[in-house]
A and B are shown apart, each in its own frame.
Chain A
Amino acid sequence: MDGPEQVRARLEDTGYLVDDGLAIACFLALRLGRPLFCEGDAGVGKTALASALAEALDAPLIRLQCHEGIDASQALYDWDFPRQLLRLRAAEAVGVTDADRLEGELYDRRFLLARPLLRALETQPSVLLIDEIDRADDEFEAFLLELLSEFSVTIPELGTLRAETPPVVVLTSNRTREVHDALKRRCLYHWFDHPGFARELAIVRRRLPGVSARLAEQVTALVQELRGHDLLKPPGVAETIDWAEALDALGADEVDAELATATLGSVLKYREDAQRGRELDFAAVLAVRGA
């Protein structure tokens, strides 16, 4: 791809709308071969970006969900012990005596289980999503550091596997923990903000083509209003889409204050927030924005 504009067009074809900054970020990630480190509130489209990129590049998306205690055998590779054992038994049964050769055969590529990271190195092209890196612990970060700078893996029994064209890497973090500088330094850093009214409306319309234009507009206006009200968890774009979908499922073409209050549970997930939401004058918001 030649420039940010083209990246933007390709991403928009997949239904993922990007602003200037994100288009440039994706372009640079592709051009410079650097991982893209995405931070931002939950539900602003960090993970969706990876799947959109995969679709735009027509490459498989390989996802690694991080969690506490994740280690190399879950993320990178593991030997398939049961199969090795079977092979050993079979060799014994037919009376193979050449021990060296047998050992060589046992540590063959086909007995190696590729976990997401190794799979991403072997699949070309591919998009690797390392989701919620902040949930993994520091040891794992150090391990990623090595992988993301070299795009190669050394397996003692087999040798070094190297990716000829490195995968496009997207890392996401919810900032529950500060990710180490050494890892961030190797990445492009992009902070995801909540989108403005026009872009959010466009996203809702694109994601839910079946929903009436008026409903989409009203829901977006309401969510934008809610975000300004100092909630424990401000709703993300994902919640806007959920809400519009919920209202659409109820057969609504437009929303009034009563219906909005009744379905508030699809946007506000804390009791305190819901209470605050109920106190809001939705009718006034709708009168101003949605008229």
Chain B
Amino acid sequence: MLAADAALLGFARALRAAGVDASAERVHAFLNAVDALGPGMRTDVYWAGRLTLCGDRDDLERYERVFAACFGGARRARRAVTATPAPRLRLVAPEAGTGGRSEGPDDAPAPPVAAFASSAEVLRHRDVSDLRPAEREQVRRLLAAFALRGETRRSARRRPDRHGAVDPHRTVRELLRHGGEPALLRRHARTERPRRVVMLIDVSGSMAPYADALLRFAHAAARGSRTEVFTIGTRLTRVTREMAHRDPDLAMTAVAAAVPDWRGGTRLGELLRAFLDRWGQRGMARGAIVVVLSDGWERGDPELLGTQMRRLHRLAHRVIWANPRKARPGYAPLAAGMAAALPSVDAFVEGHSLAALERLAAVVRGAGDA
């Protein structure tokens, strides 16, 4: 039995290496489950593991792969488990956004910045794609201070208030406290809650100079509980969980590990459809503020993007498109994707500098029209 347990533990370890969050508690449940099913067949082990070790639909695919690798042809696990995690592109994000042609020859160590406040003011309006490393560092610190709250809406919860409907609960309790003597009427009113904010961040090649800054902006914004973050490129990746790290650098590293398609092409239409099919239509986009951060360069069919944007527009409360290229002099939304998307966009803003991101935050909050 011990050898079998060791094999199962090895399997769990291989799963962890492949990215499934198989914690000790889950593994314990897995062993219990196998035990409850008795020394059974391969399918029993398969299902016991799938039921206890996976916690998400995304885990299932990885689970299949690792299970096939571990228990593949053999009837039962005997041989030493060799983990074969999927080959995955790993990039460290903090560097990901900084490299590239956009940096000029003045790349050398910048002079120490003396007057922080005034330089911050200048920095606010600089395009983040042509910053020097030292300035970039400062921008990162400023970005970390951002907060993004959605516009508010009335929620189903009520709280005590001086005006509003009579709260029978508290009124009767008050009555009870006074031995049944008629007392003051207590009232309650509906509370207001911020709407959910969903951010879709383009990490394709054409957005590379901005990706780091935008992801950091998203990290600062995602500190509120009701923000969801996705990256789009050649695939759609949900990075809300990776964004949960408190430390921006740790979060960026986690995001870099999770996103397989840095600097690839863009299939906006297709990925938007994937987002709406899997998350948006089920409720994530309903009544939410959806922010698309992209330059609108679409490799696929612009018609598809147009259709999906109309669908998104029907579901969401507001659709905001932030395009860092919009700030370039003489910009016109000529990229086919951008032109197809614009009719379904409520607010079209810039996103190239700190000041522009501040403005974006204001638009999301519902203050200021664009």
Binding site for B on A (CB under 8 A): 3-4, 20-21, 24-25, 27-28, 31-32, 34, 39, 67-69, 71, 73, 81-82, 84-85, 88-89, 92, 106, 134-135, 138, 174-178, 181, 184-185, 188-191, 232-233
Contact = CB atoms under 8 A, between A and B. Distances in A.
B47 A25 contact: yes
Contacts of A178: 56, 240-241
Contact of B55 (A4, A24, A176, A184): A184
Nearest to A80: B172
Nearest to B175: A85
A32 B176 contact: no
Contacts of B29: 32, 34, 188
11 contacts: A32-B29, A69-B157, A135-B283, A175-B279, A178-B56, A185-B23, A185-B26, A189-B51, A189-B52, A189-B55, A191-B54
A92 B179 contact: yes
Contact of A181 (B21, B33, B281): B21
Interface string B176-194: 1001100000000000000
Nearest to A23: B47
Contacts of A24: 37, 43-44, 47-48, 51
Contact of A68 (B48, B155, B225): B155
A178 B196 CA distance: 13
Contacts of A27: 36-37
Given A24-B44, A28-B48, A189 B54 contact: yes
Contacts of B50: 21, 189
Interface string B146-180: 00000000011100000000001100110110011
B277 interface: yes
Interface in B304-318: 311
B57 interface: yes
Given A25-B47, A81-B173, A138-B225, A232 B281 contact: yes
Contact of B283 (A28, A88, A134, A190): A134
A256 B157 CA distance: 51
B37 A69 contact: no
Given A68-B155, A81-B169, A85-B180, A177 B51 contact: no
A4 B44 CA distance: 10
A79 B43 CA distance: 49
Interface string B1-31: 0000000000000000000010101100100
Interface residues of B, number: 45
B84 interface: no
A175 B168 CA distance: 35
Interface string B51-70: 11011110010000000000
A84 B54 CA distance: 48
B282 interface: yes
Top 5 nearest A-B pairs (CB, nearest first) are A176-B283, A69-B156, A81-B172, A69-B157, A24-B47
Contact of A188 (B51, B179, B284): B51
Contacts of B225: 138
B304 to A, nearest CB: 11
Contacts of B279: 175-176
A263 to B, nearest CB: 24
Contacts of A71: 157
B52 A188 contact: yes
A155 to B, nearest CB: 16
A189 B225 CA distance: 24
A88 B156 contact: no
A134 to B, nearest CB: 7
Contacts of B51: 21, 24-25, 28, 188-190
B32 interface: yes
Nearest to B59: A189
Contacts of B21: 181
A176 B47 contact: no
A27 B282 CA distance: 30
Contact of B282 (A4, A73, A176): A176
Given A21-B47, A27-B36, A176-B279, 18 more contacts: A4-B37, A24-B47, A28-B36, A28-B48, A32-B32, A68-B157, A69-B157, A71-B157, A92-B179, A135-B283, A174-B283, A176-B284, A178-B56, A181-B55, A184-B55, A188-B52, A189-B52, A233-B281
B277 A84 contact: no
Contacts of B60: 191
A189 B155 CA distance: 30
B156 A20 contact: no
A81 B168 CA distance: 9
Contacts of A174: 282-283
Contacts of B38: 3
Nearest to A78: B169
B3 to A, nearest CB: 23
Contact of B33 (A28, A81, A134, A135): A28
Contacts of A92: 179-180
B251 to A, nearest CB: 17
B241 to A, nearest CB: 8
Contacts of B33: 28, 32, 188
Contact of A88 (B26, B155, B179): B179
A106 to B, nearest CB: 8
B307 to A, nearest CB: 8
Contacts of A67: 156
A4 B23 CA distance: 26
A181 B156 CA distance: 25
Nearest to B168: A81
Nearest to B156: A69
